Amino acid sequence: MGEALTVAEDMDLDLVEVAPQANPPVCRIMDYSKYRYEQAMKTKEARKKQSVVVYKEMKMRPKIDIHDYEIKKKHVERFLNEGAKVKVTIMFRGRELAHTDLGRKLLTRIAEDLQEISHVESEPNLDGRNMQMILVPTAPKIKKETTEEK
């Protein structure tokens, strides 16, 4: 071990212990700061290439008015066109929890209305006082860039 350390110092490099549990321990002569830099660059590249899934949430009540439903549906449609997954939540209060079928009908209605641009990733399920469903865009829309010539 001492001989390897002197060789590493002569070469102006570091002696790095690779496998300490081996008998005798395995070491490598390398530039450790350069190795750490390369590892950091690899992890940075990996982070660049991974895609972040964006979730948007739309909350409704089971007794929603038709006009309010249309407004919320347009918001969900806009989110889907932007490429985000949408979690649609129906919130129940008090005795409304006895009529979860109204919430299920509302969620299936919004899924049917938006079936051209989305599909259901998770079916409506009751979680405490909320019923949730996740919609995913069918194909990501490519925003067309228009160039105006003057």
Give the CATH number for residue 117: 3.30.110.10
Helix (H, G, I), strand (E, B) or coil at 81: helix
Query: Max alpha carbon distance in the chain (Å)?
Result: 83
How is the beta sheet containing 55-60 ordered, strand by strand?
55-60, 85-91, 130-137, 118-127
Q: Are residues 65 and 133 in the same domain?
A: yes
Q: Are residues 66 and 115 in the same domain?
A: yes
Residue 116 lies in a domain: yes
Range of the structural domain that residue 118 is part of: 55-137
Residue 149 lies in a domain: no
Q: Are residues 80 and 125 in the same domain?
A: yes
Q: What total of structural domains would you count in the chain?
A: 2
Q: Are residues 69 and 110 in the same domain?
A: yes
Q: What is the pLDDT along the chain (150 residues), one digit of tens a residue?
A: 688 888 888 888 888 888 888 888 888 888 889 989 999 999 999 888 887 777 899 999 999 999 999 999 999 999 999 889 999 999 999 999 998 999 999 999 999 999 999 999 999 999 999 999 999 998 755 444 444 444
Q: Are residues 116 and 61 in the same domain?
A: yes
